[in-house]
Amino acid sequence: MSRIATISPVMGCSVEDLRTLAKTAEGGGFEAIFSPEVPPFSALTNAQVFAEATSTIKVGTWITNIYMRQAVMTAATSLTIQEISGGKMMLGLGVSHKPVNTRYEIDMGDPVDTMRDYVGQVKAFLDGSASQLTLKRDLPKVPVYIAGLTKGAATLAGEVADGLMPYMTTVDYVSTLKGYVAQGAQAAGRDPSEIDITLGIPSIISDDLELAQKSGIRGFSPYLNFPFYQRLMINNGYGDAIDKIRAGEKPGDVFTTEMLDSVALVGPPDRCRAKLDEFRDAGVDLPIIVPGPAGKQSNVEVMQNTVAAYSG
């Protein structure tokens, strides 16, 4: 089976739901299941729930906000999950979004410089080399991934991280990001092939293509209210759409089926798998399926449909 991963939602998910989702993904042969982070839900805590409910699947964060935890505690918690999971923890770090951080009175400063420093600190605490530590935990290495949608973040991933975690990019733009990762790796004297390129890809599975497309537009168009995602869609080639939103049009009225199909897997399973192959061919090492409902479906039903569509 080709490499494939997925995420859990956080809204509307009980701890028991999280356990079921993780077991479902594990049963389908998925490599990993990650948790997003939307306060008051913690991606790291959810990853621990996954680890305690499973035995073979990798677990991790997609992503955890670096501004909300000191690096030493991010590393400490990750090491506990690494021990619980038997060495299957994957730590995804990100800067979230300015509107979110402003709500919590967080000054982001320069996100790229802040991330560079943070990754350095986390890695030192993880491997025990930090000068502040008096103890070292003897556990397998925890790979550190960086969420990124821009040249700066992708180049930084190549420079200091084990992998890149972008989201909602077109086939062409993921190739561009992979090139930036290679530039960063080469500048740091690293082998670009050792940097894991993941991609979060929205997925709406349904034999009713029109229903799937309507559900996708309704679910994903609100992202275009965030400056980072506006910049991403410009980089994806949809600058005209972002101009309309900035002029006052609603994202749901601007986000077309063409835009959706260029960044997502939508419709019957065969159609979704064919699009997934395009992303793999563009250089995605680990697709991270972001499941969404077609109509009214529970989180567990959506995961069951996702696993059925992409397993094997």
Whether residue 98 has pLDDT greater than 90: no
pLDDT band of residue 106 (cuts 50, 70, 90) is confident
What single DSSP character describes residue 134? S
Q: Which structure tokens are listed for 174?
A: 């993921």
Radius of gyration of the chain (CA): 19
**247 has a pLDDT exceeding 90:** yes
Residue 211 pLDDT: 96
| Position 109 pLDDT exceeds 90 | no
What are the tokens at 244? 């309309």
Residue 162 tokens, joined: 């084990």
User: How far apart are the C-alpha atoms of 286 and 1, rounded to whole Å?
Assistant: 12
CB within 8 Å of 222: residues ≥ 6 apart: 251, 252
CA distance 63 to 92: 5
The C-alpha angle with vertex 223 and arms to 255 and 45, in degrees rounded to 5, equals: 145
What is d(CA 60, CA 132) in angstroms, rounded to the nearest whole number?
26
Cβ atoms of 73 and 129 closer than 8 Å: no
State the average pLDDT for the chain: 95
Contact 65, 94 (CB under 8 A): yes
Helix, strand, coil: what percent of the chain each, to 5?
55, 15, 30
In this predicted structure, the answer to whether residue 71 has a pLDDT above a threshold of 90 is yes
Share above pLDDT 70 across residues of the chain, in percent, rounded to a whole number: 99
Does 108 score more than 80 pLDDT? Answer: no
Q: CB neighbours of 129 closer than 8 A, spacing ≥ 6? A: none
pLDDT over 90, % of the chain: 89
Q: Count of alpha carbons within 13 Å of 238, Cβ hemisphere only?
A: 28
Strand partners of residue 6: 33, 289
The mean per-residue pLDDT over the stretch 4-22 comes to 95
- Give mean pLDDT, residues 17-28: 98
**Strands 58-61 vs 89-94: parallel, antiparallel or unpaired:** parallel
Binned at pLDDT 50, 70 and 90, residue 73 comes out as: very high
pLDDT digits (tens, 9 = 90+) for 216-238: 999 989 989 888 889 989 999 99
- CA separation for the pair 66, 91 (Å, rounded): 11
d(CA 274, CA 78): 35
Can you give the residue ranges of every domain in the chain?
5-310
Closest among 10, 26, 34, 106 to 289, alpha carbons compared? 34
CATH architecture of 5-310: Alpha-Beta Barrel (3.20)
